Amino acid sequence: MVFSALFLAGELVAASSVQIKETGPQKFELLVDGKPFFANGVGGYNNLPMLKEMGGNCFRTWGIESLEERIDGKPLLDYAHDLGLKVVVGIWIGHERHGFDYMDQAQLRKQRRDVEGAVRKYKNHPAILMWGLGNEMEGPASGGSEIRIWEELNHLAKLVKKEDPSHPVMTVIAGIGGEKVKNIIKHYPEIDVLGVNAYASAPGVGGGLVEQGWKKPFMLTEFGPSGHWEVGHTSWGAPIEPTSREKAASYFATQKRVIEDGQGMCLGTFAFLWSHKQETTSTWYGMFLPTGEKLGTVDAMGYAWSGEFPANRSPKLISLSSSADQKKVKRDSLQKAHVKVKDAEGDPLEIDWVVTAESTDRQVGGDKESVPPSYPSLIVSNGDESLEFYAPSKSGAYRLFVYIRDNAGGAATANFPFYVE
C-alpha cells in the first residue's frame, strides 16, 4: 500500500510540508506547514500519550519496520498523528560490524531499493517530520574515515529527495570526534540535518560543530545520563551508574545548555530512551522501569519542555549507602544497605531490593544484551528503607538495586556494584 492522501478520523489529510529556513548566518528554523517547529523529542514510542502530556511533540524511530507496529489497533504513524505528534522516521542503513559490505554492489543495490520503497510507501503520511537515514552506521568507536559510507549515504539521500522533496534528510552519527564532520562536509553534501548522539559531551556539540566548520543545522538525537564508558569504574572494572535523581538533573541541564549554546543551529533534541532496555544495566538509559513506572528523568524533561512539573512527581531518592557499596566482600557475608527517599505529594512508597550478577553480555552501539540473573533468596528483609542481604556464595561481580515506587505510576532507582571474593 502506498499512501497519497489519508483518511484519518474520517477526514482526508494531506502530507505535511517540512522546510528548513535560514534566518541568518548559520541560524535556522524548522517550518512545518509554514509554522515554526522545534523538536521536543524522545527516542522510542513507549507511552506516547504521556509524551504529549509532558509537552513533547515528536519522537524518532530507528528502522522502518517500526511503522508497521500497532498501538490500540492503529498503525504507529496514525496513532502519532491522532496525538498531534511528529515522527523522525528512521531508515536503518547497514553497519559493517553487522556484516554489511559497502564494497558489495549487490548489497548496495538492495539497500537502495529498500530505501526508495520505504520512502515511496510512507512519504505522504502527515505525521512524518523528516527521514532519519541511518544511525551510527560508521560504528560507535569510529573516527569517521570511512569515505565509502559517506559517499553511499550521499547517494541514498539523493534517492530520498527525488522520491520525496517535502521532508528533510537527517543522518545520525555517534559523537563528533575524529574526522566525521570534516568528511561529511566533503563527501555528503546532500545531507540537510546532522543528527548527533552524545551523552556526557552533549552540551558541547553545538560549539564543537561550529569549530569544525559545520554550517548546516543539527539535532541532538540521543542524550541522557553519562554513558557507561564515561563514568568512574571500580577496581574490577564495573561502571558506577548515576542515580535516577542525578540522571534527571543531567537531562534537564543538557536540554537547556544545548538550546542556549546551539547558536541557532539546533532544530531539536531527543531524550533517550522513552522506554527501558538492558544496556550495561537494566536501568542505565531507560526513562521508565521495565514495569512501566516513569522515573524522574520524565519529570525533568516535562519541566524543560513546558515549564511545569507533572501533577504527581516521581519519588526522589536522596541517598543510597551500604557496607558493600563498591567494595570487595566475603562470600556469604551479611551486608547492610539504607536508602533515603522523599515524595513531593506524600504518597505511600513501596521499596524493593534486588541483587543481580554484573552483566557479562556487553555489546557496543546499543546492540541487544541479555539480562543477568537475579538472586531474590539473598534478601533478608525487603520493603523498607533499611536492608540486610547476604553476599552470594559464588565469587564474582554483582550489583544491588533499589526500586522506589509510589502509588501513582512514578518511581526512583539506584544501584551500586560490589565484588564477592
Q: Please indicate, yes or no, whether residues 297 and 333 belong to a single structural domain of this protein.
A: no
Domain boundary among 287, 306, 325: 306
19 & 79 share domain: yes
Tell me whether residue 370 is in a domain: yes
pLDDT of 4 = 45
**Domain-located, residue 277:** yes
Q: Is the domain of 296 the same as that of 362?
A: no
27 and 126 share one domain: yes
Q: Which of 281, 306, 331 is the last residue of a domain?
A: 306
Q: Which three cell numbers stand for residue 307?
A: 515549564
Q: What is the pLDDT of residue 2?
A: 42
In a domain, 137, yes or no: yes
Does 11 fall in a domain? yes
d(CA 356, CA 371): 9
In a domain, 311, yes or no: no
In whole angstroms, how far apart are CA 413 and each of 129, 250, 327, 397, 410?
A: 34, 15, 20, 20, 11
pLDDT one digit per residue (tens) for the chain, 421 residues: 344 445 555 565 788 899 999 999 889 999 999 999 999 999 999 999 999 999 999 999 999 999 999 999 999 999 999 999 999 999 999 999 999 999 999 999 999 999 999 999 999 999 999 999 999 999 988 899 999 999 999 999 999 999 999 999 999 999 999 999 999 999 999 999 999 999 999 999 999 999 999 999 999 999 999 999 999 999 999 999 999 999 999 999 999 999 888 668 999 999 999 999 999 999 999 999 999 999 999 999 999 999 999 999 999 999 999 999 999 999 999 999 999 999 999 999 999 999 999 999 888 878 889 999 999 999 998 778 999 999 999 999 999 999 999 999 999 999 999 999 9
**Domain enclosing residue 321, as ranges:** 316-420
CATH number for the domain including 392? 2.60.40.10
Same domain, 21 and 146: yes
Dihedral sign (CA 318, 320, 47, 89): positive
pTM: 0.95
User: What's the CA gap between 120 and 1, in Å, rounded?
Assistant: 10
The last residue of a domain, from among 257, 288, 306: 306
Q: Which of 306, 317, 316, 333 is nearest to 391 (CA)?
A: 333
Per DSSP, the three-state class of 91 is strand
Same domain, 65 and 83: yes
Evaluate whether residue 233 is within a structural domain.
Answer: yes
State whether 335 and 398 are in the same domain.
yes
pLDDT value at position 382? Answer: 76
Tell the burial category of 36 from Cβ atoms under 10 Å away from its Cβ (0-12, 13-18, 19+): exposed
Regarding whether 57 and 117 lie in a shared domain, the answer is: yes
- Mark whether 269 and 397 lie in a shared domain: no
17 within some domain: yes
What are the beta bridge partners of residue 222?
197
Give residue 358's pLDDT. Answer: 98
Q: What CATH number is associated with residue 260?
A: 3.20.20.80
Residue 66 lies in a domain: yes
| Pick from 234, 306, 216, 305: nearest CA to 269 | 305
**Domain total of the chain:** 2
216 and 236 share one domain: yes
82 and 57 fall within a common domain:
yes
Looking at the fold, whether 297 and 321 belong to one and the same domain comes out as no
